[in-house]
Structure 1
Amino acid sequence: MPENEGAERDLSALELPQWGRLRETGDPWDPYQLIDKDGRVCAEAQAFFKDLQAAGREDTTLRSYALDLLRWLRFLWVLDIRWDRATSVEARDFMRWMLLADKPVRVHWRLQLRPQTAAPKGPGAVVRRPPPGTLNPVTGKSSPGVKYAAATRAHCETVMRTFYDFHLREGTGPIINPFPLDRSRQASRANTHHNPMERFKHERTGRYRPKVPKRIPRRIPDEMFNAIFAALKYNRDRAMFAFWVSTGVRAEELLTSTNRDDLPGEQVIGVIRKGTRDYQRVPASPDAFVWLRLAQEEAWRRGVPRGRNAPLWWTLRRPWRPLEYPAARAMFIRVQELLGSNWSLHDLRHTATYRMTSDPLVRLTDVQWVLAHKQLTTLQIYLTPDSDEIVGHMLAHHARQEKKATEQPRPPLPAPGYDPASMDVLFGRPNS
C-alpha cells in the first residue's frame, strides 16, 4: 500500500500559504530560480529548467512551468511531504483541490479601493471591475472566475507529469510517476485504431487530466475596433494597433521589432516568431506606417534613443525603456475600461485572421504563411462563423420567411400560345 493511502484529508479546509517564490535573475543561463519555503534554491527544479532550456524552450515557458511547480510544492509543504515521496494519492488530492478550491485572491495595490458611497470620478479614478465569472455585455466573454480554469488544471497536470518523468529518467526521483497516464492507455499501443484519413491525436492523456473545452476565437467587430482606436491617446498606441490588426502577428512578436525592421518602402515589418525564433517580414497596411512615423518623430524629439538596432517601441516617460508585453497589455486594459469591454491583445490576432480569411481573393496558404501556422488545418476554426454571425443569418432567414408568408401568391402564367382568358374560364378564376 502506498504511503498515506488510508489517510483521509480534509481538502475543504486546506489553504496554500504563500511559501516560496519565483525569482527572476536576469541571467540568460539561469533566467528563473525557484526558492523554497526556507529561502533556498530548489536544486531539483533548476535541473528540470536546464533540461527544458536545452530542448529550446523559451524563458516564458520556463516561467509558466515554474509557477505550476511552485503551486505543487506548496501543496506538499502543507502536507509535510517531500517532493520525491509523493504518490498518486497526493497527485489525486492535488487535482481535486484545484478543481474545488478557490484561487488565492491577490489584489493589486492600485485596485485596493477605500470604502466610499459615490462612484469615483476624474481621470485618475479607479474603475470597479465586475465580479469574477461575470459575462461581459459588450464582448460576450466572461471574466476569470474564482475557480481554477480547466486549461490551468490541464497545464499543471502536464507540467507535473513531465517534471517527474524527467527525474525518473535521470534516476533522481521516485521510481513511479505520481501523475500516471490514463488507465486505458497503459496496456495498449498508441494510435492502435488510427484512421489514416485523419490527423494523429495526442493520446498520452494523464489519468487526472481534465477535459478542456475548445476555445472559439473571438474577433473584435469593426465598429467596436473603431471605438477602441478612437479612444487611444498616443500615436505609438495607434501604430501598434494598426500593425496588430493588419499583420496578425502576436502582441509580443511585434514588440521584438527594431528600427531596421521598419521597411515602409516595401510595406513590410520584421518580427521574431514565437517558438521557432525565426525572423520573418510580414506585410502591413499603409496607415500603420503613417502612425509609426508620427510616433517616431514625437519620440525622437523627446530624446528616445535612435539607431538601426534600437528597439522600435519605447515607453512614453523617462527613464526610457523598451516597451514590454505587460505594459502593452495594461495600456489595452485601460482603454477598454472606457467602453466596458474585456477583449485581449490576442483577440486582435483573431480579428486580423478573420479579415484575411473572409477575403475571397486571399488564399488560405497566404494566411497560413502570414500567421506562421504549422498546419493549414489550424485555420479551420476561423472559417466557422461565430455566434453573432449565426444569429444574424438566422434572424434574416426568419424575416424572409415572414415576408414570403404575407405576400399574395401570383397565379402561374400560361404557356405561350394559350389565351389567358380561356385559362381563367377553365379553372374557374375571376377575370384578371
Structure 2
Amino acid sequence: MIGDESERDPAALAVARVGRLEATGSPWEPYRVIDPTGEVIGPVGEFLKELQASGRSEATQRSYGHDLLRWFRFLWAVQVPWDQATRVEARDFCRWVQTGSKPASVRWKQSDALPAVSGGKYAPTTAAHGESVLRAFYDFHVDTGAGPMVNPFPLVRERRRKRLAAHHNPMLPHRNERVGLYRPKLVDRSPRCIPDEKFNELFAGLGSHRDRALVAFFVSTGARASELLGVRCGDVDAGSQLITVIRKGSRATQQLPASPDAFVWLRLYQAQFHGQIQTRRDDPLWQTLRRPFRPLTYHAARAMFIRVNSILGTDYSIHDLRHTAAYRMARDPDMPLADVQWILGHAQLSTTQIYTSAPVEETIATILAHHARRAATPSAPAAITPEYRSESMDVLFPGASR
C-alpha cells in the first residue's frame, strides 16, 4: 500500500546521467550495465542472460538495458536499493518519466562554464516500454527469490487474477489484457508515408551509390532497418531480383523481391569499390565508405538520413521508408493483401490492413480539394414547386373552389 509518508517531489528530483550501457562484443554477454563506480550491475546482468536464453536478440537486450539503466539512475537519485524499491518508487519513477525532463547531457559541452543541455521530454512509448521491462525484471527476480517479495510494478487490480484471453472473441485479434497499473495510454497514430514528390527530392539528395541502393531496397522491399543492414553478400540473387533477410522477430530467413532499380544502384556501388572491400558470401553487403571499411551500422545509416533531412528541411526517418513501401503495395488493386502481409512479415492481417486507407497527407489534400470544388461551384437556384394540372385537381376535389 502507498502510505502518506512519501514526501518525495519528482519535480525537484535531480537525476544524474551516470552509469552507462556498455557493448562488450562478446556473443555470451553482448551488453552490460555499469554503475557510477565502474562495476557491473549484477541483477541486470542476470536478467539479460535470461533474455538471451529466451531467444531475445541483441537489439532487444540493448533496448532493455537502456530502460533498466534509466530505472537505476532514478534509484541512485532517491538513494533506494533496487531490491528495496516499493510501489512508491515505481509510482514516482513513472510520474517522472511521463512528466519530467530527461537528465541533462554533458556530452557536447565545450567547457565547464557552459550549462548542461537538457534532452527534452521522454516519449510516451518510452514510458510504456520501460514500465513493461521493469515489471518483467522484477517478475524474474521475485520468482528466483533474489529480489523483493512483491513486484513494485503491479498490474491493473481488476485484471491481476484474470486468465489471459478468458473471454476473448475468436473473431477479433488478440490483445494484451495484462496491462500495468502505471503504464500510460498510447494514442494510435497512422503510419507516416513519404509522398512521391518528397521521396524523389530525398533520393536526389543522397550522396553516394551505396545510399541510393540502400534507400531503393528499403522502399521496394519494406524490410526493417536491422533486417536489411544485416544482409550478406551471398544473400543477393540479382538474377531473380531477390534479397534474403533474417526476420527481426522470428529470426527466420525470407527472400524478398526488390525493384530492378535497387539492383542497378547496388551494382554501381559494388563497381565503385571493386577490389577495395571484401565481397565473399559471408561478408557484409553494406559497409562504410571510408577506410578502415567496417559493416554499416544503424546509427551510421541514420546519420546519412539525417544529413539529407537537414538539406530538405524534413524530418523523415528510415522506418518511414518501410511505411511508404507498405502503403504503395497495400493500395495496389492488383496485389492481394495477404501477399503484402507476407512481405512485411506481419503476424496478423489486421496489422497490414492499416495501410489500405489513404495516407494522412493524401487524405488532407483530398478534403481540401473538396472544399475548393464547393467554393467554385455556383449555388443552384431554389427549386420551384410545380403546379398540379387542373383536371387532376377536379378529380381529387370535385366541386371545390380553387
TM-score (norm 1): 0.82
Q: 1:263 maps to what in 2?
A: 237
Residue type matched to 1:76 in 2? L
The answer to whether 1:373 aligns with 2:329 is no
Decide which moves more: 78-87 or 157-166.
Answer: 78-87
Alpha-carbon distance change, 259 to 183 in structure 1, aligned in 2, over 3 angstroms = same
Residue type matched to 2:56 in 1? R
| Residue deviations 1:107-146 (CA, integer Å, cap 9, x gap) | 764x979xxxxxxxxxxxxxxxxx99xxxxxxxxxxxx82
The answer to whether 1:328 aligns with 2:301 is yes
| Counterpart secondary structure, 2:33 | strand
Q: 1:19 maps to what in 2?
A: 18
Residue type matched to 2:308 in 1? V
| Counterpart secondary structure, 1:209 | coil
Q: 1:9 maps to what in 2?
A: 8
Alpha-carbon distance change, 326 to 28 in structure 1, aligned in 2, over 3 angstroms = same
Contact 1:5/1:89 (CA < 8 Å) preserved in 2?
Answer: no
Aligned mate of 2:174, from 195, 200, 206: 200
Aligned residues, how many?
379
Residue type matched to 1:389 in 2? E
**Equivalent runs, 1:331-350 vs 2, <5 Å:** 331-350=304-323
Aligned mate of 2:134, from 160, 166, 175: 160
CA distance in 2, matches of 1:277, 1:80: 41
CA distance in 2, matches of 1:400, 1:35: 63
| Counterpart secondary structure, 1:34 | strand
Residue type matched to 2:346 in 1? H
CA distance in 2, matches of 1:146, 1:112: 20
Alpha-carbon distance change, 352 to 91 in structure 1, aligned in 2, over 3 angstroms = same
Residue type matched to 1:184 in 2? E
| Residue deviations 1:235-262 (CA, integer Å, cap 9, x gap) | 1111111111111111221111122212
Shift of residue 373, structure 1, vs aligned partner: 1.0
| Counterpart secondary structure, 1:383 | coil
Contact 2:16/2:103 (CA < 8 Å) preserved in 1?
Answer: no
Shift of residue 391, structure 1, vs aligned partner: 2.0
Alpha-carbon distance change, 112 to 252 in structure 1, aligned in 2, over 3 angstroms = farther
CA distance in 1, matches of 2:41, 2:233: 41
Shift of residue 160, structure 1, vs aligned partner: 0.7
CA distance in 2, matches of 1:216, 1:107: 35
Residue type matched to 1:12 in 2? A
Contact 2:18/2:36 (CA < 8 Å) preserved in 1?
Answer: yes
CA distance in 2, matches of 1:63, 1:337: 28
Residue type matched to 1:72 in 2? W
Q: 1:285 maps to what in 2?
A: 259
Aligned mate of 1:389, from 362, 376, 386: 362
Aligned mate of 2:225, from 238, 251, 257: 251
| Counterpart secondary structure, 1:30 | coil
The answer to whether 1:300 aligns with 2:274 is yes
| Residue deviations 1:80-127 (CA, integer Å, cap 9, x gap) | 211111110111111111122111243764x979xxxxxxxxxxxxxx
CA distance in 1, matches of 2:159, 2:281: 54
CA distance in 1, matches of 2:322, 2:64: 25
Q: 1:210 maps to what in 2?
A: 184
| Counterpart secondary structure, 1:179 | coil
TM-score (norm 2): 0.88
Shift of residue 192, structure 1, vs aligned partner: 4.9
Q: 2:202 maps to what in 1?
A: 228
Alpha-carbon distance change, 394 to 215 in structure 1, aligned in 2, over 3 angstroms = closer
Shift of residue 395, structure 1, vs aligned partner: 2.7
| Counterpart secondary structure, 1:405 | coil
| Counterpart secondary structure, 2:198 | helix
CA distance in 1, matches of 2:202, 2:53: 42
**Equivalent runs, 1:26-425 vs 2, <5 Å:** 26-106=25-105, 109=108, 146-301=120-275, 303-406=276-379
Alpha-carbon distance change, 24 to 180 in structure 1, aligned in 2, over 3 angstroms = same
Shift of residue 189, structure 1, vs aligned partner: 4.4
The two structures, once aligned, show a CA RMSD in angstroms of 2.4
Residue type matched to 2:231 in 1? S
Contact 1:261/1:271 (CA < 8 Å) preserved in 2?
Answer: yes
Shift of residue 70, structure 1, vs aligned partner: 1.1
| Residue deviations 1:338-396 (CA, integer Å, cap 9, x gap) | 10001000000000011111111011111111111111111121112233222222233
Decide which moves more: 333-342 or 180-189.
Answer: 180-189
Q: 2:390 maps to what in 1?
A: none
Contact 1:256/1:271 (CA < 8 Å) preserved in 2?
Answer: yes
Q: Show structure 2 runs of 5+ residues with no match.
A: 112-116, 385-402
Alpha-carbon distance change, 193 to 273 in structure 1, aligned in 2, over 3 angstroms = closer
Decide which moves more: 166-175 or 187-196.
Answer: 187-196
CA distance in 1, matches of 2:201, 2:336: 30
Alpha-carbon distance change, 106 to 80 in structure 1, aligned in 2, over 3 angstroms = closer
Alpha-carbon distance change, 190 to 351 in structure 1, aligned in 2, over 3 angstroms = same
Residue type matched to 1:280 in 2? Q
Residue type matched to 1:235 in 2? H
Residue type matched to 1:312 in 2? L
Shift of residue 402, structure 1, vs aligned partner: 4.3
| Counterpart secondary structure, 2:24 | strand
Decide which moves more: 71-80 or 187-196.
Answer: 187-196
